Amino acid sequence: MYNKKTIEDVAVAGKKVLVRCDFNVPLKDGKITSDKRIVEALPTIKYLLAQGAKVILCSHMGKPKGEVNPKYSLAPVAARLTELLGQTVELANDIVGEDAKAKAAALKEGQAMLLENVRFDAREEKNDPEFAKELASMAEVYVNDAFGTAHRAHATTAGVADYLPAVCGYLIQKEIGIMGKALANPERPFVAILGGAKVKDKLNVINNLLTKVDTLIIGGGMAYTFLAAKGYGVGKSLLDEEKIDYCKDMMKKAEEKGVKLLLPVDTTVCAGFPDPIDAPVETKNVSADAIPADMEGLDIGEKTMELYAEAAKSAKTVVWNGPMGVFENPTLAKGTIAVAKALAESEATTIVGGGDSAAACEQLGFADRITHISTGGGASLEFLEGLELPGIACLQDK
């Protein structure tokens, strides 16, 4: 899965190249609030333009559910690309309609255009072959550079590869290069830190990682189901009763494989979940086996923070996915901050899976001290599960 052809392995000069990007940027009142995803796509776009390709960019934005919705138009993206590239990037007012086809046909070498939101067409998410064929008919080469949607088999992420030579851009190359090596051949000790609320979201990840890591650290809401599996009372904390036996099996599997499975030794408890989420809360630090019946664990405790930070600092490879507590609340973000800081200070290869953990590293200013922050939350999780991602499987092998 990791040895895919890239844009440098195919001739693109003078050719029309369809590039799937992830321009799903946050908007407020029609203005882009973070252009990070657009900036991350620039190396691939600039390379293709410099090679004299005629570049047709495409992306989804939001969930317009297969209908044209001006709120999700890519017009602000086209405007920002025009500024960043220093040349006009025209937006087609459709995807495979007359306007798109006319603008694509008129492209000159070294020029780029952008198709309208591909999810305005219901056929995109259904991976409709006719739609994929129409998209492919506008180009001669297909490039996927949208790791954030690589776990989805949609027309623009996988379908068009049936009709065009398909390669990856620099962003996907970096994702599969760094994450692929970490999973296939990591420098040891290899430590994985998993957080987040639900055990069921991470079942297969835990299972897969137990065959690869030296130490597996569990935090976040899902830790309480593990603590319950140890026979501890967890008070009003998040608990998935149906997964208690699964947690017991995982602890046994870790023991059999000689993998250290670290669980919280203490926890930060409150009388209840903060409402609103960032409201001031009164907290208490209690031992993991002494959570009061009327309290709720909402972050890892102080000793656990030290324990997890120590494990991260002594590792050679660390993968982290999911916060340690209710990260949106300043008082309950301490565990997540402690882990982010430990990764930033570690000499190891550090990989942070998208979503909340990536946001934590960025907000805290640690991003430049992390080896790799994944651009895809769901995609990086499925990668850690050892699943084949459709948007990568469809690309040509070297």
In tens, the pLDDT along 104-144 reads 999 999 999 999 999 999 999 999 999 999 999 999 999 99
Residues 106, 139, single domain; the answer is yes
* Residue among 97, 110, 378, 386 flagged as catalytic: 378
Residues 152, 192, single domain; the answer is no
Residues 266, 317, single domain; the answer is yes
Q: Is residue 351 part of a domain?
A: yes
Burial of residue 264 (CB within 10 Å: 0-12, 13-18, 19+) is buried
What gap in Å lies between CA 282 and CA 276, rounded to an integer?
A: 14
Among 171, 189, 211, the domain boundary falls at 171
> Does 177 participate in catalysis according to the annotation?
no
> Does 377 participate in catalysis according to the annotation?
no
Q: Which domain holds residue 370?
A: 178-384
Residues 183, 165, single domain; the answer is no
Residues 104, 211, single domain; the answer is no
**Residues 218 and 198: beta-carbon distance below 8 Å:** no
Helices (H), 210-327: 223-229, 244-257, 302-313
> Does 195 participate in catalysis according to the annotation?
no
Residues 62, 93, single domain; the answer is yes
Q: Is residue 394 part of a domain?
A: no
pLDDT tens-digit series, residues 142-163: 999 998 899 899 999 999 999 9
Residues 157, 182, single domain; the answer is no
Sequence length of the chain is: 398
Q: Is residue 397 part of a domain?
A: no
* Residue among 198, 260, 316, 369 flagged as catalytic: 198
Residues 97, 76, single domain; the answer is yes
Q: What is the DSSP letter of 217?
A: E
What gap in Å lies between CA 218 and CA 223, rounded to an integer?
A: 6
pLDDT of res. 341 = 94
Among 171, 199, 221, the domain boundary falls at 171
Between the alpha carbon of residue 216 and those of residues 192, 202, 244, 259, the distances in Å are 5, 13, 18, 7
Q: How many domains does the chain have?
A: 2
pLDDT of res. 354 = 67
> Does 258 participate in catalysis according to the annotation?
no
Residues 374, 243, single domain; the answer is yes
Residues 167, 183, single domain; the answer is no
Among 127, 152, 171, the domain boundary falls at 171
Q: Is residue 392 part of a domain?
A: no
Q: Is residue 2 part of a domain?
A: no
Q: Is residue 1 part of a domain?
A: no
Residues 107, 122, single domain; the answer is yes
pLDDT of res. 381 = 80
105: which residues sit within 8 A by CB, 6+ positions away?
A: none
Q: Is residue 391 part of a domain?
A: no
* Residue among 15, 37, 212, 334 flagged as catalytic: 37
**Residues 195 and 173: beta-carbon distance below 8 Å:** no
Residues 378, 255, single domain; the answer is yes
Q: Is residue 348 part of a domain?
A: yes
Which parts of the chain sit beneath pLDDT 70?
1-2, 354
Query: Residue 55's domain is classified under what CATH number?
Result: 3.40.50.1260
* Residue among 169, 195, 335, 355 flagged as catalytic: 355
pLDDT of res. 356 = 80
Prediction pTM value: 0.85
